[in-house]
Structure 1
Amino acid sequence: MLKSKGKFLILYMGWLPYEDPIAGKSEEIILKHNPNWTAYGDTVHPVWVPEQYLRYFDLLSQEQFRVDIPFTKEGWHGRMRACRGVGASMSPKQLDAWNKDHMEMLQKEASENFMVKHYISIAELQVKE
Structure 2
Amino acid sequence: MKAPPPVDFDRTAQDYARHRVGFPPSLYARLADHGVGLLGQEILDLGTGTGDLARGLARRGCSVTGVDIAPALLAAAAQLDEAAAVAVRYVEARVEALPLPAGSVDVVTAGQCWHWFDRPAALVGARRVLRPGGALVLATFDWLPLPGNVVEATEALIEHFNPTQQKPHVRFGHAAGIYPRWAQDLDEGGFLQVETFSYDHPVLYTHEGWRGRIRASQGVGASLPPDEVARFDAEHAALLRDRFPGDPLSIPHRVFVALGRMPGPSAVVASTP
Q: Same fold (TM over 0.5)?
A: yes
Aligned-partner Cα distance in 1 for 2:147–2:199: 14
Letter in 1 for 2:214: M
Query: Deviations for 1:32-52, whole angstroms, at most 9, x for unmatched residues?
Result: 111112117642323524358
C-alpha displacement of 1:65: 1.9
C-alpha deviation, 1:20, in angstroms: 6.5
Alignment counterpart, residue 252 of structure 2, candidates 117, 120, 124? 117
Paired residues of 1:13 and 1:120 also in contact (CA < 8 A)? yes
Whole-Å separation in 1 of the counterparts to 2:147 and 2:246: 18
Distance 1:46 1:59, change over 3 A: farther
Q: Deviations over 1:65-106 (max 9, x none)?
A: 222111111111111111110001112232121011101112
Counterpart check, 1:43 vs 2:176: yes
Alignment partner, residue 212 of structure 2 = 78
Larger mean CA deviation between 41-50 and 57-66 belongs to 41-50
Q: Is the 8 A contact 2:187 2:194 kept in 1?
A: no
Q: What letter corresponds to residue 254 of structure 2 in structure 1?
A: Y
| Aligned with 1:30 (options 158, 168, 173) | 158
How far, CA to CA, are the matches of 1:4 and 1:78 in structure 2?
42
How well do the aligned residues superpose, as a CA RMSD in angstroms?
A: 2.2
Structure 2: distance between partners of 1:53 and 1:81: 35
Larger fraction in strand: 1
Greater mean alpha carbon deviation, residues 34-43 or residues 88-97: 34-43
Percent identity, aligned pairs only? 22
CA–CA distance in structure 2, aligned partners of residues 6 and 14 of structure 1: 26
Structure 1: state its 5+ residue gaps.
Answer: none
Q: Say if 2:138 is the partner of 1:5.
A: no
From 196, 199, 213, the equivalent of 1:65 is: 199
Tell me whether 1:94 sits opposite 2:228 in the alignment.
yes
In 1: Cα distance, 2:140 partner to 2:245 partner: 25
Gaps of 5+ in 2: 1-104, 107-130, 265-273
Range with greater deviation from structure 2 (40-49 or 78-87): 40-49
Residues 20, 46 of structure 1: CA spacing in aligned structure 2 closer, same or farther, 3 A cutoff? farther
Q: How many residues align?
A: 128
**Deviation readout 1:12-62 (Å, 9 max, x if unpaired):** 11111125611111101111111112117642323524358732x214310
- Sort the Cα spacing of 1:124 and 1:20 in 2 relative to 1 into closer, same or farther, 3 A: farther
The 3-state SS of whatever aligns with 2:201 is strand
Deviation at 1:7, TM superposition (A): 2.7
Q: What is the identity, as a one-letter code, of the residue corresponding to 1:45?
A: I
Q: As a proportion of its length, which structure holds more helix?
A: 2
Equivalent AA in structure 2 for residue 5 of structure 1: G
